[in-house]
Amino acid sequence: PRVLVLSGPNLAALGSREPEIYGTLTLVELESQVVGEGERLGLDVTCRQTDDEAELVGWLHEAAAAGWDVVLNPAAFTHYSYAVGDACAHLVGVGSRLVEVHLSNPAARETFRHTSVVGRSATGTIAGFGAGSYLLALRALAD
Protein backbone atom coordinates (compact mmCIF):
# COMPACT_ATOMS: atom_id res chain seq x y z
CA PRO A 1 0.00 0.00 0.00
CA ARG A 2 1.17 3.46 -0.91
CA VAL A 3 1.27 6.26 1.67
CA LEU A 4 2.02 9.89 0.90
CA VAL A 5 3.63 11.73 3.84
CA LEU A 6 3.13 15.46 3.35
CA SER A 7 4.63 18.33 5.33
CA GLY A 8 3.43 21.92 4.99
CA PRO A 9 4.98 25.37 5.29
CA ASN A 10 8.18 26.10 7.24
CA LEU A 11 8.85 22.44 7.99
CA ALA A 12 11.88 22.43 5.66
CA ALA A 13 13.48 24.62 8.35
CA LEU A 14 13.25 21.89 11.00
CA GLY A 15 16.48 21.56 12.91
CA SER A 16 17.00 25.30 13.29
CA ARG A 17 13.35 26.41 13.58
CA GLU A 18 12.34 27.02 17.21
CA PRO A 19 14.25 23.92 18.39
CA GLU A 20 12.81 24.29 21.91
CA ILE A 21 9.41 23.52 20.34
CA TYR A 22 10.20 21.37 17.30
CA GLY A 23 13.48 19.71 18.34
CA THR A 24 16.75 19.60 16.44
CA LEU A 25 16.00 16.84 13.94
CA THR A 26 16.08 18.13 10.34
CA LEU A 27 13.31 17.30 7.86
CA VAL A 28 15.78 15.11 5.92
CA GLU A 29 16.48 13.13 9.11
CA LEU A 30 12.78 12.94 9.99
CA GLU A 31 11.89 11.73 6.49
CA SER A 32 14.59 9.08 6.57
CA GLN A 33 13.10 7.75 9.84
CA VAL A 34 9.66 7.81 8.18
CA VAL A 35 10.88 5.88 5.13
CA GLY A 36 12.64 3.36 7.40
CA GLU A 37 9.51 2.82 9.48
CA GLY A 38 7.49 2.45 6.27
CA GLU A 39 9.86 -0.28 5.05
CA ARG A 40 9.59 -2.06 8.40
CA LEU A 41 5.78 -1.95 8.15
CA GLY A 42 5.64 -2.96 4.48
CA LEU A 43 4.30 0.42 3.34
CA ASP A 44 5.49 2.16 0.20
CA VAL A 45 6.13 5.64 1.62
CA THR A 46 6.78 8.83 -0.36
CA CYS A 47 7.64 12.05 1.52
CA ARG A 48 7.09 15.56 0.18
CA GLN A 49 7.23 19.08 1.67
CA THR A 50 5.92 22.38 0.35
CA ASP A 51 5.37 25.94 1.53
CA ASP A 52 2.76 26.37 -1.20
CA GLU A 53 -0.96 25.93 -0.48
CA ALA A 54 -1.84 25.22 -4.12
CA GLU A 55 0.84 22.55 -4.41
CA LEU A 56 -0.37 20.87 -1.22
CA VAL A 57 -3.98 20.89 -2.48
CA GLY A 58 -2.74 19.34 -5.75
CA TRP A 59 -0.96 16.53 -3.88
CA LEU A 60 -4.09 15.78 -1.84
CA HIS A 61 -6.12 15.49 -5.06
CA GLU A 62 -3.40 13.27 -6.55
CA ALA A 63 -3.68 10.93 -3.55
CA ALA A 64 -7.50 10.99 -3.79
CA ALA A 65 -7.39 10.05 -7.49
CA ALA A 66 -4.85 7.27 -6.90
CA GLY A 67 -6.49 5.87 -3.75
CA TRP A 68 -3.47 6.49 -1.52
CA ASP A 69 -3.58 7.06 2.23
CA VAL A 70 -2.00 10.29 3.50
CA VAL A 71 -0.11 11.37 6.60
CA LEU A 72 -0.32 15.16 6.67
CA ASN A 73 1.37 17.78 8.82
CA PRO A 74 -0.47 20.84 7.49
CA ALA A 75 1.69 23.14 9.70
CA ALA A 76 0.18 26.64 9.86
CA PHE A 77 -2.39 25.73 7.15
CA THR A 78 -3.98 23.57 9.87
CA HIS A 79 -5.44 26.63 11.50
CA TYR A 80 -6.92 28.61 8.60
CA SER A 81 -6.74 26.94 5.18
CA TYR A 82 -10.26 25.97 4.16
CA ALA A 83 -8.74 24.99 0.79
CA VAL A 84 -6.51 22.36 2.44
CA GLY A 85 -9.41 21.35 4.72
CA ASP A 86 -11.77 20.88 1.77
CA ALA A 87 -9.15 18.87 -0.16
CA CYS A 88 -8.81 16.63 2.92
CA ALA A 89 -12.60 16.20 3.08
CA HIS A 90 -12.56 15.16 -0.59
CA LEU A 91 -9.67 12.72 0.01
CA VAL A 92 -11.47 10.97 2.86
CA GLY A 93 -14.79 11.18 0.98
CA VAL A 94 -13.40 9.03 -1.83
CA GLY A 95 -12.17 6.40 0.63
CA SER A 96 -8.56 7.24 1.49
CA ARG A 97 -7.49 7.50 5.10
CA LEU A 98 -5.92 10.69 6.42
CA VAL A 99 -3.84 11.00 9.58
CA GLU A 100 -3.24 14.61 10.70
CA VAL A 101 0.07 14.86 12.55
CA HIS A 102 1.89 17.56 14.49
CA LEU A 103 5.33 17.55 16.05
CA SER A 104 4.19 19.79 18.90
CA ASN A 105 0.85 19.63 20.69
CA PRO A 106 -1.10 22.60 19.26
CA ALA A 107 -3.75 22.26 22.00
CA ALA A 108 -1.09 23.19 24.56
CA ARG A 109 0.07 26.30 22.65
CA GLU A 110 -1.35 29.68 21.53
CA THR A 111 -5.12 29.94 21.12
CA PHE A 112 -4.95 30.33 17.32
CA ARG A 113 -3.40 26.84 17.17
CA HIS A 114 -6.35 25.24 18.98
CA THR A 115 -8.46 25.29 15.81
CA SER A 116 -7.86 22.70 13.08
CA VAL A 117 -9.81 23.05 9.84
CA VAL A 118 -8.29 19.71 8.79
CA GLY A 119 -9.21 17.68 11.87
CA ARG A 120 -12.92 17.50 11.03
CA SER A 121 -12.01 15.41 7.97
CA ALA A 122 -9.15 13.38 9.41
CA THR A 123 -9.45 9.67 10.12
CA GLY A 124 -7.36 10.44 13.20
CA THR A 125 -4.89 12.92 14.64
CA ILE A 126 -1.55 12.39 16.43
CA ALA A 127 0.20 15.37 18.02
CA GLY A 128 2.94 16.12 20.48
CA PHE A 129 5.43 13.30 19.93
CA GLY A 130 7.93 15.04 17.64
CA ALA A 131 9.01 12.80 14.75
CA GLY A 132 7.26 10.02 16.66
CA SER A 133 3.91 11.53 15.62
CA TYR A 134 4.72 10.64 11.99
CA LEU A 135 5.94 7.12 12.93
CA LEU A 136 2.83 6.46 15.02
CA ALA A 137 0.66 7.59 12.09
CA LEU A 138 2.29 4.99 9.83
CA ARG A 139 1.72 2.31 12.48
CA ALA A 140 -1.93 3.33 12.73
CA LEU A 141 -2.30 2.99 8.94
CA ALA A 142 -0.49 -0.37 8.90
CA ASP A 143 -2.59 -1.92 11.70
Task: Name the site residues for ligand DQA (rule: CB under 6 A).
Answer: 10, 73, 75-76, 78, 102-104, 106, 113
Smallest gap from residue 79 Cβ to ligand DQA (A): 6
C-beta closer to ligand DQA: residue 50 or 78: 78
What does the alpha-carbon distance between residue 51 and residue 66 come to, in Å, rounded to a whole number?
Answer: 23
Query: Which parts are annotated binding residues for substrate?
Result: 73, 79, 86, 103-104, 113
What does the alpha-carbon distance between residue 71 and residue 122 come to, in Å, rounded to a whole number?
Answer: 10
Asked if 22 is an active-site residue, the reply is yes
- Residue pair 99/132 in contact (Cβ under 8 Å)? The answer is no
Burial class (CB in 10 A: 0-12, 13-18, 19+), 74: buried
List the one residue out of 67, 79, 111, 91 whose CA is nearest residue 10.
Answer: 79
C-beta closer to ligand DQA: residue 64 or 71: 71
Smallest gap from residue 102 Cβ to ligand DQA (A): 4
List the one residue out of 40, 37, 39, 99 whose CA is nearest residue 68.
Answer: 99
Smallest gap from residue 67 Cβ to ligand DQA (A): 26
C-beta closer to ligand DQA: residue 68 or 134: 134
Active-site pick, 80, 102, 114, 134: 102
Asked if 102 is an active-site residue, the reply is yes
Catalytic positions are: 22, 102
